[in-house]
Every structure is written in structure tokens, then in C-alpha cells.
Structure 1
Amino acid sequence: MQVDKIRGPQTDQLFRAILELRDLEECYRFFDDLCTISEIQSMAQRFEVAHLLRLKKTYETIKKETGASTATISRVRRCFDYGNDAYEEMLSRLYPDEKPYEPKK
């Protein structure tokens, strides 16, 4: 499993703290203290790229809508194709009526 490369006591502590967040406002406050604005924007952008890939949007459309580079779009795409299925899992919870991403065979 690919997550082993990030696993450790400090990461466990961070993720346990995230799991304790109770609402959106608490998330905003915690991540504002924890991360730079740029880090938060980068994570949000990658997640939106994942959402648009799931909707089968073209790289050009995704680039225009998110401002993401083709390198970022490709990285997210590789996660869909070869990753831990976490993007799909979270997006299917947020948008249960949308069709899931299907990697090229």
C-alpha cells in the first residue's frame, strides 16, 4: 500500500486530530493555523481537479476552470489510475449521484 511511505507517529497524530474536527468552521480554523494559504489552496485545487476528472472533463477545461498546471492534472490522474482510490471514495460520498471515474485500460 502506498500510504506506508507517509505513515508514522507524527502523521498518525495529525490525522487523529483531523478526525476530531466537528464541523466546517472548526476545519477552517484548524487548517488556517496548520497550513499556509498556498498549501490549503493547492490541496483544494487538486481535489477540484479530481472532481473534474471524475466528470470526464478535458485537461484544457480543467486547466481553465481551476488554474491547475497540466503537471498537477496529470499527477491527480495518476492517483486515479494507480493510487489508493481515496479521491473516488471521498468524491462518491460528496457526490453520490455522479458517475465514478473509470481509468483507461
Structure 2
Amino acid sequence: MNKKIKTELTDKLFQSILCMNTVEECYQLFEDLCTVNEIQAIAQRMEVAAMLDAKCTYVEIAEKTGASTATISRVNRCLHYGTDGYKLAIDRVKALEQKEEN
């Protein structure tokens, strides 16, 4: 855990996010909490992570997402040397999508 971000305030932020029950509720919270550009940047990073996890090339990822190679490289570094947050989210979304298909 990064001690630079682990504070009582960030705990409360994450608790607020976890209290949302639907995607629509998340939209409501994040539209109030973040700028449109911040939301789009976070969403882009998640898509980059998912594509890296699926073994897509940097060129494919840049073409599909519009992400810079610097962003792709940063996300890739996090996937390999980070706290596994991206991987956890990717795996859970995959499981949810598979559950919805069945």
C-alpha cells in the first residue's frame, strides 16, 4: 500500500465509491467528483490495462484507445510491478461478463 495516498480522507473516498450499487450511481458520483477529462483518462487506462492483459501490441492499443505510448508504458509497468489492482479489476470484470453471458 502506498503510504502517500493511504489516509483517512482517501479511505472515506473509497468507501463512498464502494457504497455505489449500480453503474448509474457511479456515473452520478464520478460526474460530481471528477472532470470529464479525468473520468475519460481513468477509463482509458482501464481499457489499456485490459488490452495489455489480452496481449495486444502497443500499436493496437494506441490505435483503439488513443492513448500515448507513455500512458501505455506506465500502465504496463503497473501491471508488472504494481499492486495488482488493474489485474484484480480486469479479472472481476471478466468474471462478471461471463456470468452475464450464462
Same fold (TM over 0.5): yes
What is the match of residue 16 of structure 2?
A: 17
What is the match of residue 100 of structure 2?
A: none
1:26 equivalenced with 2:28 (yes/no): no
TM-score normalised by the chain length of structure 2 = 0.90
Report how many residues are paired.
Answer: 95
Corresponding residue SS for 2:3? helix
In 2, Cα distance between the equivalents of 1:13 and 1:93?
23
Higher relative contact order (CA 8 A, sep 6+): 1
**Post-superposition CA distance 1:14-59 (Å, at most 9, x none):** 0110111011110000000000000000000000000000000000
Which structure has more helix as a fraction of its residues?
2
The runs of at least 4 aligned residues of structure 1 exceeding 2 Å deviation read none
In 2, Cα distance between the equivalents of 1:83 and 1:5?
15
Percent of residue pairs identical: 53
What is the match of residue 55 of structure 2?
A: 56
In 2, Cα distance between the equivalents of 1:67 and 1:40?
15
TM-score normalised by the chain length of structure 1 = 0.87
